[in-house]
Structure 1
């Protein structure tokens, strides 16, 4: 009888440990400064979903607001409330370029975290025609969610504009050219001595 009791208790303990293993999650750390999250000991960046820099400001009808901080806080709030799993994606065209993090598709309680952040306006897709989550981004834009409130314009759109449209850009370009010329003059003078 004692042996059966021991086997029963051992089976119960093994079952309990198996259940704990299913519900246990590696600790998650969000590193907004470097643009990735750490699950266990591995750093991941969300493939196809780019959050604004943490110090980014977005314009609203009244003033600027800290949209970058809000986006990263939303990510942090979400990952601590559920079970996060990340699957690294392998690409022959790219390397782990974002501060040595791996591109990944992450799920939170079984739903794509990458797509969810884009869908609710806290992340952007890239500008390529084959970019994932374009439909989600369009819905977030139409519904003015997250960073899309108050007519947000993605940086790629205003950065691509012609330099002649920008007085500040022209002045900066002229300043850079003058600095290079001065540097060349100084190095030329130093080499003739």
Structure 2
């Protein structure tokens, strides 16, 4: 290998290392800016709003790292019948917090200024349990992915049939409330993509 090629490989490796260090530095700074708050602790009993939201004395708490079906969301069974998966997710969380011996902790807030928390009953992580039972999805790239895969493989909760991701369901309802007919938009896109208009 010529000296020129070796030098070029060395420079390329050096560029990759510097880029990786820069990205890691940005992530570190972002984490410090976001998560540097004081830890807040909330102790039960709690009122359950839906599958990922609790309330206590006027404060709403959002279970971090998960996304459960919305309260009025429906899913489909294996034989394509609708079932109220949003209400079932709420009932699952009600069951997990019912004895009142629950503690929720967190340092961050979401965009609605709700504390983002991880809740425990003794040594049981309730956020994990919601994903493990199939009544919530992992909301992060790495958080609770193993539990979600297990629930999916074992066809638990919403994984037993068909469902729309809660984030997608919320987006479509928002468009409906704004007077946008989402089905017409999709039909128009299909028409354009089919190239029948050429």
Cα offset, 1:152, TM superposition: 3.7
Q: Tell me the equivalent position of 2:135.
A: 122
What is the rounded CA distance, in whole Å, between the counterparts of 2:169 and 2:44 in structure 1? 40
Q: Is 1:68–2:86 an aligned residue pair?
A: yes
Q: Tell me the equivalent position of 1:140.
A: 151
CA RMSD, 1 decimal:
3.1
Cα offset, 1:147, TM superposition: 0.9
Q: Tell me the equivalent position of 1:54.
A: 71
Q: Which has the higher contact order (CA 8 A, sep 6+)?
A: 2
TM-score norm. by structure 1 comes to: 0.60
Task: Indicate how the Cα distance of structure 1 residues 102 and 172 shifts in structure 2: closer, same or farther if over 3 A, else same.
Answer: farther
Q: Is the 8 A contact 1:57 1:67 kept in 2?
A: yes
TM-score norm. by structure 2 comes to: 0.58
List runs of 5+ in structure 1 lacking aligned partners: 1-24, 160-165, 174-193
Q: Is the 8 A contact 1:28 1:37 kept in 2?
A: yes
Cα offset, 1:51, TM superposition: 1.1
What is the rounded CA distance, in whole Å, between the counterparts of 1:101 and 1:85 in structure 2? 16
1:95-134 per-position Cα deviation (integer Å, ceiling 9, x unaligned): 432x4311011112221100010011011112x43x3100
SS state at 1:56 partner = coil
What is the rounded CA distance, in whole Å, between the counterparts of 1:151 and 1:26 in structure 2? 34
Q: Which has the larger radius of gyration?
A: 1
List runs of 5+ in structure 2 lacking aligned partners: 1-42, 171-181, 190-198
Task: Indicate how the Cα distance of structure 1 residues 155 and 53 shifts in structure 2: closer, same or farther if over 3 A, else same.
Answer: closer
Cα offset, 1:172, TM superposition: 7.3
Count of residue correspondences:
136
Give the 5 Å matches for 1:77-96.
77-90=95-108, 95-96=109-110
Match of 1:32 among 45, 50, 61: 50
